[in-house]
Amino acid sequence: MSTQSLPWRKSSYSNEAGTCVEVSEGPVTRVRDNQNLHVEPLDFTPGAGAHFLRGLHTD
């Protein structure tokens, strides 16, 4: 999939220290690390993206 997709935005899961997770939403949700743009983003279908986020939550 091309990295030329919908615009990227800073995720609410990012921190204030400049370590950011960026998200591009469309038919496929793309997730990337803004400090490692040379690494391919992760691509998620809507259901897989929600499942991934639920797995990140810790109590």
What is the maximal distance between C-alpha atoms in the chain?
36
Instruction: For residue 2, give the 3-state DSSP assignment.
Output: coil
Type of residue numbered 16 = E
pLDDT in tens, 11-49: 776 777 767 888 888 888 898 888 888 999 999 987 887
Higher pLDDT, 26 or 6: 26
**Structure tokens belonging to residue 30:** 């793309």
| Backbone dihedral angles phi then psi of residue 30, each to the nearest 5 degrees | -110, 140
